[in-house]
Amino acid sequence: MLSFLYTGLMNAPRTARERARAELTKEILTSARRQLGDVGAPGLSLRSVARDLGMASSAVYRYFASRDELLTALLVESYGEIGDAAIAGDLPDAAPEERWLSVWRAVRAWCLANRHEYALLFGTPVPGYAAPHLTTEIAARMPLTLARIVADAKRSVGLRPYTGPVCDPAAIEPAMLDLLADGDFTVEETARLILAWNRLVAVIGYELHGHLKNVTADDALFFEYTARAEGANLGLAFD
């Protein structure tokens, strides 16, 4: 499972064969990625990838054991990209509120430009599921970018006091608190961070899947409101 990451991509190729293998692996991924963007995950066909590269369909199985494994590779790649987009959207020297909005916008922009990749990441899981241990680290980069901003805000200007119901500590996984340990978050802050990350993904999903048709008139404007509301909910200084 996921052997391609180790054999072809991560280790530096030494022999000519390994070199060719790494290159072809990359070409397969590139072609698959392009097809994913065109027809989406359900329409992605291993045979058409093979045709695109001028090789026999059976030869592709030397590089990816199944269609699901190929999709998983695209999933990992996409997780990396959305994490990159989030990090690139951050403005480390700006005020927390500006950083927050900028990251939200960056993530939305990536999702709108890569709707099939969004579906792969957050839509209905098509394959038998990706390897959790490998992907969670990459998948965490986007939400951690949000957490970092809140942590910085807490350290510098502080967070506004919370109102409303509080979260039962038993609801949160202790490992999650450890993951955010450097932010020194309370249970309540952690819960609200989870909800903010959930909201970011969800409101984009609604926009992408057409659930906001006849509901919102200006999706960008509504997204802006959502970002502010969710930031304020975490104690950022949005009015």
Partner DNA sequence: ACAGAAACGAGAGCACTGCTCTTGCGTTGC
Partner DNA sequence: GCAACGCAAGAGCAGTGCTCTCGTTTCTGT
Smallest distance, Å, CB 23 to its own copies? 32
CA distance 223 to 59: 45
Q: Which residues contact 76 (CB under 8 A, 6 or more apart)?
A: 2, 5, 130, 134, 135, 138
The site map against its own copies for 163-202 (x = CB under 8 A) is xxxxxx-xxxxxxx--------------xx-xx--xx-xx
Structure tokens given for 16: 């000519």
In the complex with its own copies, the residue whose CB is nearer, 63 or 238, is: 238
Piece in contact with DNA (CB under 7 A), picked from 13-21, 78-86, 143-151, 162-170: 13-21
CA distance 86 to 146: 8
Number of residues that bind its own copies (CB under 8 A): 57
Smallest distance, Å, CB 3 to DNA? 10
Structure tokens given for 210: 């057409």
In the complex with its own copies, the residue whose CB is nearer, 138 or 191, is: 191
Of residues 166, 146, 148, 139, the one with CA closest to residue 230 = 146
Piece in contact with DNA (CB under 7 A), picked from 63-71, 116-124, 180-188, 224-232: 63-71
Instruction: Assess contact for 60 and 67: CB atoms under 8 A.
Output: no
Structure tokens given for 98: 């500006």
Of residues 137, 25, 119, the one with CA closest to residue 75 = 119
93 binds its own copies (CB under 8 A): no
12 binds DNA (CB under 7 A): no
For the chain, the first-to-last Cα distance in angstroms comes to 49
> Residue 226 binds which entry of its own copies, DNA, none, with Cβ cut-offs from 5 to 8 Å by kind?
its own copies
> Residue 195 binds which entry of its own copies, DNA, none, with Cβ cut-offs from 5 to 8 Å by kind?
its own copies
Smallest distance, Å, CB 18 to DNA? 7
Interface residue with its own copies, options 119, 138, 151, 196 (CB under 8 A): 119
Other CB atoms within 10 A of residue 136 CB = 12
Piece in contact with its own copies (CB under 8 A), picked from 45-53, 59-67, 69-77, 158-166: 158-166
CA distance 208 to 51: 30
**Locate tokens 């057409």: which residue?**
210
In the complex with its own copies, the residue whose CB is nearer, 22 or 32, is: 32
Interacting residues toward DNA by CB under 7 A: 14-18, 20-21, 24, 44-48, 54-59, 61-63, 65-68
